[in-house]
Amino acid sequence: MPLLVMKFGGTSVGDLARIKNAALKVQREVERGYDVIVIVSAMSGKTNELVGWVEQTSPMFDAREYDAVVSSGENVTAGLMALTLQEMDVPARSWQGWQVPILTTSAHSAARFVDIPRENIDAKFAEGFKVAVVAGFQGVSPEGRITTLGRGGSDTTAVAFAAAFGAERCDIYTDVDGIYTTDPRISSKARKLDKIAFEEMLELASLGAKVLQTRSVELAMRYKVRLRVLSSFEDTDETSGTIVCDEEEIMESKVVSGVAYSRDEAKMTLVTIEDRPGIAAAIFGPLAEAGVNVDMIVQNISERDYDDHPGAVTDMTFSCPVNQIPRARKAMEDARASGIINYDDLAVDTDVAKVSVVGIGMRSHAGVAATMFKALAAENINIKVIATSEIKISVLIDRKYMELAVQALHDAFELEKSA
């Protein structure tokens, strides 16, 4: 019997009516001949409520009890979904993470998958059950404690089950009807993509696109799990949504597939540091140890400073998420206090945004950077920092120009047109 994995996010199961709507979609796939594993999130807003209760009860909470509380939202949804399907005469059973069992590491609130044994769920399918409704976002540690996977963990759960069970496809139901060339709220010309390569989706997810969680795309790419992103709130068929797949499945793609953005960026500059071998390691080693996710890095041309700074000196600029500024500042201050580095000032600019163009076609086409920079220059948008990869170019700009930059780049690469 072919098997399908279907994942429903928080907005898709936000109340009983929406759970019924999702159950109808599951029923339709069962009628098409599939056994179905359904992965559910907590109802929209429920996880935030549970986190709030934990923090009010115990500001310095025990991570094991935190996971026990915040994982309960998915358990409620799974039970309600199974009951709804049973009322529709679809043989269904709900599963919590420990019942599968979903085996994870012991890193509470940030656990990673170790294994998903198939035997228990396969046995239920063999008994005649057609649907296994599994609580997403959770698992069980080697010590037998409930663990959670971090925000967005239900997407990752869905992909992991699709890989473990050899599913034909993993359908991610959400509040949008697919992957777009950019945010439709910013550009009215944004176009829904029929297909996008794993690598492109991974870059877009890591650069700020919120449709799929980054870890889920990494897992899908590793195990070649075909993903489909589609809307819970529209009638769908086999052609609906966007397929995330291997590059080989895409016959011909545009040079640039999408424009992503992130408002939550900060630019930090260490002013007047020594320009010597090992200085980069001395800076970015402590940042890594502090858990700071550094993205873009620029080192200025070195110069010989005044008498109070003999030898070559330079400035080092890097970007990181805004919420990691305190950690980054402390790491640099501690490094200076311990004599690892020396600098005159640490300048922080939070009024910036990152805008990126992504496309696997960039590998074989020249001139993408030139087109990008010309489009920004035409709008009088100054570039502060640039970072590139094989399929991505990112720039840091003043935040007030972010939407203008997205629109200009979308137009420059004619993303409203299909390949």
Q: Per-residue pLDDT for the chain (419 aa), expressed as one digit of tens each? A: 799 999 999 999 999 999 999 999 999 999 999 999 999 999 999 999 999 999 999 988 999 999 999 999 999 999 999 999 999 999 999 999 999 999 999 999 899 999 999 999 999 999 999 999 999 999 999 999 999 998 778 999 999 999 999 999 999 999 888 999 998 889 989 999 999 999 999 888 877 667 788 889 999 999 999 999 999 998 887 778 999 998 888 866 778 999 999 988 999 999 999 888 899 999 999 999 998 999 889 887 665 554 455 567 889 999 999 999 999 999 999 999 999 999 999 999 999 999 999 998 888 788 899 999 999 999 999 999 998 888 899 999 999 999 999 999 999 999 998 76
Task: Using alpha carbons, list the distances in angstroms from residue 79 to 54, 101, 106.
Answer: 23, 17, 26
Q: Is 10 assigned a ligand-binding role in the annotation?
A: yes
Q: Is 275 assigned a ligand-binding role in the annotation?
A: no
Question: How many angstroms separate the CA atoms of 250 and 195, rounded?
Answer: 7
One-letter amino acid at 193 equals L
Question: How many angstroms separate the CA atoms of 403 and 348, rounded?
Answer: 22
Is the overall model pTM greater than 0.85, yes or no? no
For tokens 């992503």, what's the residue?
260
Instruction: Enumerate residues 6+ apart whose C-beta is below 8 A from 393.
Output: 356, 357, 362, 368, 369, 372, 386, 387
Q: Is 373 assigned a ligand-binding role in the annotation?
A: no
Predicted local distance difference test score (pLDDT) of residue 361: 85
Predicted local distance difference test score (pLDDT) of residue 299: 84
- Cα 290–Cα 294–Cα 295 angle in degrees, nearest 5: 165
Q: Is 401 assigned a ligand-binding role in the annotation?
A: no
- As given in the structure block, the two tokens for residue 321 are 């998420």
Q: Is 47 assigned a ligand-binding role in the annotation?
A: yes
Q: Candidates 3.30.420.40, 3.40.1160.10, 3.30.420.480, 3.40.120.10; correct CATH number of 3-175?
A: 3.40.1160.10
Predicted local distance difference test score (pLDDT) of residue 311: 61
Q: Is 185 assigned a ligand-binding role in the annotation?
A: yes
Question: How many angstroms separate the CA atoms of 346 and 324, rounded?
Answer: 14
Q: Is 214 assigned a ligand-binding role in the annotation?
A: no
Predicted local distance difference test score (pLDDT) of residue 318: 94
Q: Is 79 assigned a ligand-binding role in the annotation?
A: no
Of the candidates 346, 340, 275, the residue with the CA atom closest to the CA atom of residue 310: 275
- As given in the structure block, the two tokens for residue 298 are 């620029």
Question: How many angstroms separate the CA atoms of 64 and 73, rounded?
Answer: 16
Q: Is 343 assigned a ligand-binding role in the annotation?
A: no
Predicted local distance difference test score (pLDDT) of residue 303: 59
- As given in the structure block, the two tokens for residue 297 are 């890095």
Question: How many angstroms separate the CA atoms of 83 and 267, rounded?
Answer: 50
Predicted local distance difference test score (pLDDT) of residue 418: 79
Predicted local distance difference test score (pLDDT) of residue 310: 52
Q: Is 194 assigned a ligand-binding role in the annotation?
A: no
Q: Is 248 assigned a ligand-binding role in the annotation?
A: no
Question: How many angstroms separate the CA atoms of 221 and 159, rounded?
Answer: 10
Question: How many angstroms separate the CA atoms of 226 and 3, rounded?
Answer: 13
Enter the DSSP assignment of 61.
-
Question: How many angstroms separate the CA atoms of 45 and 253, rounded?
Answer: 38
Of the candidates 411, 418, 410, 412, the residue with the CA atom closest to the CA atom of residue 258: 410
In the β-sheet with 138-140, what is the strand arrangement from edge to edge?
113-115, 103-104, 138-140, 146-148
Give the β-pairing of 385-389 and 392-398: antiparallel
Of the candidates 176, 353, 154, the residue with the CA atom closest to the CA atom of residue 261: 353
- Cα 225–Cα 218–Cα 28 angle in degrees, nearest 5: 35
Question: How many angstroms separate the CA atoms of 154 and 325, rounded?
Answer: 28
Q: Is 211 assigned a ligand-binding role in the annotation?
A: yes
